Amino acid sequence: MLSAVVAPAVILVLAAGVWIVFGAGAACGVIAIGYGALIVHHVRNLDALTRWAQGGDQEAVPEGTGVWRTAFSAIYRRKRVTRAHERDLAHTIERFQSAAEAIPDGMVVLDTQNRIKWANLRAQALLGLDLAHDMGAPLVNLVRQPEFVRYLDTGDFRDAALIDSHRDAAVTLAIQIVPFGVAEKLLIARDVTQVEAVARMRRDFIANVSHELKTPLTVISGFVETLQELDLDERQRTRFLSLMREQAASMQRLVEDLLTLSALESEHNTVGDEPFAIVPLLLAISADAKSLSHAQHEVTLDVAEPATVLGSRDELASAFGNLVSNAIRYTPAGGTIRLAWRVDGDGSGVFSVTDSGIGISAEHVPRLTERFYRVDRSRSRATGGTGLGLAIVKHVLLRHQADLEIASEPGKGSTFAVRLPARRVRGSRAATENVVVPSGDAAAGAEVAHAGNDHLSH
């Protein structure tokens, strides 16, 4: 302020001096020239200021002259501080945005009219949005599932809504809306397909187990009632008791199979890598098969190449045993059951059971290893099946990184083959031998069904 009056004051003092020496006319001349120069100086600086103010954000602040230099450098300093603030702010927004992108859930910000204001990439993928086109569009135009529209309309956002993704019906999404600000909403979308599948499996499993236990329990309690209320003769009593025993045995088998499954699923129960010779195991299984068949089938064993297998002998015996017991159970008397072992060119070892039984039509094959899945419930139950056998086989094979290959034709028969990975099989090409065990001489041995389960469940 003070510096701004220095120049006019100096001109006045100079004019006063000139007045004394040269008179009033000369003094007026000095004032006119001095103030004229001052006005030019101010106009030029003002012009520079105007041009700068009208220019873009990147325009450098003019340097200015005289008093203007001070003013311009003050503007320049303030601008530098503002720029630094802007940079900080932009950086913070960027960090927030990358944090929002890093969140594994989809997030959409909706305005008061439920129009899309912002969405992270995950939300765009889950809900099929494309921000380039959909920014500002009402969300219900893009996510049209009735459950979602209803959820948004009710305004009750205490719980999440479950919807099937419109991009893939197999994907289930949980949508949760969180109101914030002034009637704005944050929508969070999460892929809960796995969680839902597990919950459904648990529900199905409990329903199945209850159902399986209900039948024998009903039968037993019916018999108990009869025994209590009726005066039966010794022969009838024995018959009823033996029927009750059968039902109790079926429940026991079910519980044993469930315990086996849970032991196999337990994370703490890791598979042992003991090496064992496959041939003695195959011989034992084939002997059990013959005992189970009661000479009703022709059972043969064909070993193309003896081998040492790394894995749990008990678990594999249980898995192989189940395949064999199925073959016998689902092959009418007079049929053939061929057990075979070979080592393929890639080093994998294959145990196969081929029967000439009833076979399985193609639509059932992918579901056979599901718990309690039976093609013909009554037939399986009549033969004492729990429907857990192949589920146990699948678990054992998973633990051994082995595959189950199923080929079947209704009316012709089936082949169930277990392929053990090469790293679990040490073949001995040199000592190739062919062991064909003729049928008939049923070896001693208990039931082959779930032969190894006892070891697992206790």
Ligand X SMILES: Nc1ncnc2c1ncn2[C@@H]1O[C@H](COP(=O)(O)OP(=O)(O)OP(=O)(O)O)[C@@H](O)[C@H]1O
Alpha helices in 111-192 (DSSP H): 121-127, 131-134, 139-142, 146-154
Task: End-to-end CA distance of the chain: give it in Å, rounded.
Answer: 98
Residue 335 within binding range of ligand X, rule CB under 6 A: no
In the set 388, 418, 425, 456, which binds ligand X (CB under 6 A)?
A: 388
For helices 2-22 and 24-54, angle between their N-to-C axes, nearest 10 degrees:
160
* Closer residue to Mg ion in complex, CB, 69/253: 253
Considering beta carbons, is residue 245 or 377 the nearer one to ligand X?
377
Q: Please report whether residue 256 would count as binding ligand X according to CB under 6 A.
A: no
CA distance 83 to 451: 79
Q: Is 456 in the site for ligand X (CB under 6 A)?
A: no
Residue number with CB closer to ligand X (12 or 255): 255
Nearer of residues 196 and 403 to ligand X, judged by Cβ: 403
Judged by CB, which is closer to ligand X: 191, or 355? 355
Binding mask 397-436 for ligand X (x = CB under 6 A): -----------------x----------------------
* Cα 98 from Cα 293, distance rounded (Å): 67
Binding residue (CB under 6 A) for ligand X from 390, 396, 437, 456 = 390
Q: Which of 186, 147, 448 is nearest to 301 (CA)?
A: 448
Among the residue ranges 8-16, 25-33, 91-99, 351-359, the one whose residues contact ligand X (CB under 6 A): 351-359
Binders of ligand X in range 234-253 (CB under 6 A): none
**Contact with ligand X (CB under 6 A) among 122, 374, 395, 400:** 374
Number of H helices, E strands in the chain: 14, 13
203's tokens: 């529900």
Give the strand order in the sheet containing 336-343: 298-303, 336-343, 349-355, 413-420, 403-409
The amino acid occupying position 329 is R
Q: By CB under 5 A, name the binding residues for Mg ion.
A: 326, 389
CB of 133 to ligand X, least distance (A): 51
Contact 428, 314 (CB under 8 A): no
Residue choice 287, 368, 418, 456 for contact with ligand X (CB under 6 A)? 368
Q: How far is CA 392 from CA 211, 259, 369, 387, in A?
A: 19, 10, 8, 10
At its nearest, how many Å lie between ligand X and the CB of residue 284?
Answer: 19
CA distance 177 to 410: 52
Q: Which CB sits closer to ligand X, 181 or 366? A: 366
Choose the contact partner of 282 out of Mg ion, ligand X, none; CB within 5 to 8 A by kind: none
Query: What is d(CA 143, CA 69) in angstroms, rounded to the nearest whole number?
Result: 60
DSSP H/E element including 452: none
Binds ligand X (CB under 6 A): choice among 18, 177, 360, 448 = 360
Please state the closest distance from residue 425 (CB atom) to ligand X, in A. Answer: 24
387 binds ligand X (CB under 6 A): yes
E strand or H helix that includes residue 93? helix 67-102
375 contacts which partner out of ligand X, Mg ion, none, CB within 5 to 8 A by kind?
A: ligand X
Q: Which of 292, 307, 327, 396 binds ligand X (CB under 6 A)?
A: 327
Contact characters 286-325, ligand X, x per CB under 6 A: ------------------------------------x---
Q: Which two tokens stand for residue 331?
A: 């092959």
- Residue 165 and residue 142: Cα distance in Å, rounded? 12
Taking CB within 5 to 8 Å according to partner kind, which of Mg ion, ligand X, none is near residue 212? Answer: none
In the complex, which residues of this chain contact ligand X (CB under 6 A)? Answer: 257, 322, 326-327, 330, 355, 357-360, 368, 373-376, 380, 385-391, 414
